[in-house]
Amino acid sequence: MRLWLLCLLPLPVMLLDAQGTAPQPPVSKPGVTGLPWWLKAGVELRGRAEASTGIDHRPGVDDGYYLHRIRLNATVEPHRWVRFVLQVQDAQAPAFSRKPVPSAFANTLDLRQGYVELGLAEKGRWGLRFGRQELILGEERLVGAANWGNVGRTFDAARLTYRAPGVRLDWFASAVVPVVNGRFDQPRLRNGFYGFYSAFDRLPRNTVVEPYFLWKTTAVLAGDLDIYTAGARLLGKLSRGFDYNVEMAFQGGHSARDRHRAWAGHWLLGYTAPLKDRPPRFLIEYNYASGDGNPRDGRRGTFDQLYPTNHNKYGTADRIGWRNIHDFMPGVEWKPARQWTLKLDVHTFWLASRQDAFYTEAGAVFLRNPDAASNRVGSEIDLQAIAQLSERLQLGLGYGRLFAGPYLRVSGRPGAFGYPYLMWTYRF
Q: CATH code at 203? A: 2.40.160.100
What are 129's strand-pairing partners? 117, 159
Using the predicted structure, report yes or no on whether residue 19 has a pLDDT greater than 90. no
122-152 pLDDT, tens digit per residue, is: 778 999 999 999 999 999 999 999 999 999 9
pTM: 0.89
% helix / strand / coil in the chain, to the nearest 5?
A: 5, 55, 40
Confidence class for position 35, pLDDT limits 50, 70, 90: confident
Is residue 327 a part of any domain in this protein?
yes
Using the predicted structure, report yes or no on whether residue 411 has a pLDDT greater than 90. yes
Residue from 424, 426, 390 nearest 23 by CA: 390
Using the predicted structure, report yes or no on whether residue 376 has a pLDDT greater than 60. yes
Using the predicted structure, report yes or no on whether residue 282 has a pLDDT greater than 60. yes
Confidence class for position 223, pLDDT limits 50, 70, 90: low
Q: Which domain holds residue 294?
A: 117-427
Please give the angle made by the CA atoms of 135, 137 and 138, to the nearest 5 degrees.
155
Percentage with pLDDT > 70 across the chain: 92
| Mean pLDDT, residues 227-248 | 96
Confidence class for position 221, pLDDT limits 50, 70, 90: low
Is residue 133 a part of any domain in this protein?
yes
In three-state secondary structure terms, 321 is coil
Answer yes or no: are the C-beta atoms of 63 and 420 closer than 8 Å: no
pLDDT of residue 29: 59
Is residue 260 a part of any domain in this protein?
yes
In three-state secondary structure terms, 142 is coil
Looking at the structure of the chain, the number of domains it has is 1
58-93 pLDDT, tens digit per residue, is: 999 999 999 999 999 999 999 889 999 999 999 999
Confidence class for position 238, pLDDT limits 50, 70, 90: very high
| Mean pLDDT, residues 40-53 | 96
Is residue 79 a part of any domain in this protein?
no
Confidence class for position 101, pLDDT limits 50, 70, 90: confident
Q: Element (H or E) spanning 409, and its range?
A: helix 406-410
- Kindly report the number of other CB atoms within 10 A of residue 380's CB atom: 25
